[in-house]
Structures are given as structure tokens and as C-alpha cells.
Amino acid sequence: MRNNRILFLILGLFFFAIGGLLLVTNLVADEPFHTSFLLMFALTVMCFCLSYLSPHFQQKDERMKLIREKGMFFSVIALMVYLIIFNLGLQIEFFTLAANELLHILTALIICTVFISFVVYSRIY
């Protein structure tokens, strides 16, 4: 159990370093802005959340099932809101995004929403 927390913490720091490196190279380069660094930061959030949740996930009780259920329900609602915002924003040309940029942003938002909602619900219940 303790090894899982340390492993997730080390992986989170590793992903944070890679994401920071991608962001710095993205800012230094004279090319258009890439959103690939968002995935590394999303993985960082995921690893840090799993580091916190590791002792909770070891238990297979009703509390953990409730946390997962509520977290996933909130994440589905948030995903619908994200999709509506992106759909409206693209249709009225509030912003223009390439398909891969949109997928990077949506994937990062989904990963962060799921695992942060797990942490929030673990604190509540």
C-alpha cells in the first residue's frame, strides 16, 4: 500500500517534469502553439490523485463504490457541459481549434475531472 503511494508520487513528478519540458520547448519554439503538454499535466493530476486515493482504493467497501459512482456521475455531467461549450464555441467561431488540439483539451479535461471528483467525494464521504 505504501509503495503504491510512493510510486504514484514519483510518476506524478516525472509527468510534471515532462509536461514542463514540453511547455518550455513549446514557448521557445517559433512554431504554432501545441497542446500536447496538456496530456502530461493531466497525467500528473491523475498520478497525484491516485497517490492520495491509493489507501482508499485498497478497501473494497460500500464507501469506495459510492465515491466511484458519484465521481463518474459528476464526470459524465461535466463531459456533457464540456461538449456543449466546445460545440457552441466552434459553431459561433468564438475560437478555432484543430481536431488534435480539441482532442488534447477534451482528454485532459476528462482525466482531470474524473480523478479530482474522486478526491473531492473521498473527502466528503
Q: Where are the domains of the chain?
A: 2-124
Digit-by-digit pLDDT tens for the chain (125 residues) are: 567 899 999 999 999 999 999 988 888 887 777 888 899 999 999 999 999 998 878 877 888 889 889 999 999 999 999 999 999 999 998 888 888 999 999 999 999 999 999 999 999 88
CA dist 40 and 12 (Å) reads: 9
As a whole number of Å, the end-to-end CA separation of the chain is 21
- b/e map of 82-114 (b: 16 or more CB within 10 Å)? eeeebeeeeeeeeeeeeeebeebbbebbbbbbb
Please report the pLDDT score of residue 44 as a whole number.
Answer: 97
DSSP letters for 101-121: HHHHHHHHHHHHHHHHHHHHH
The cell numbers describing 65, all together, are 463504490
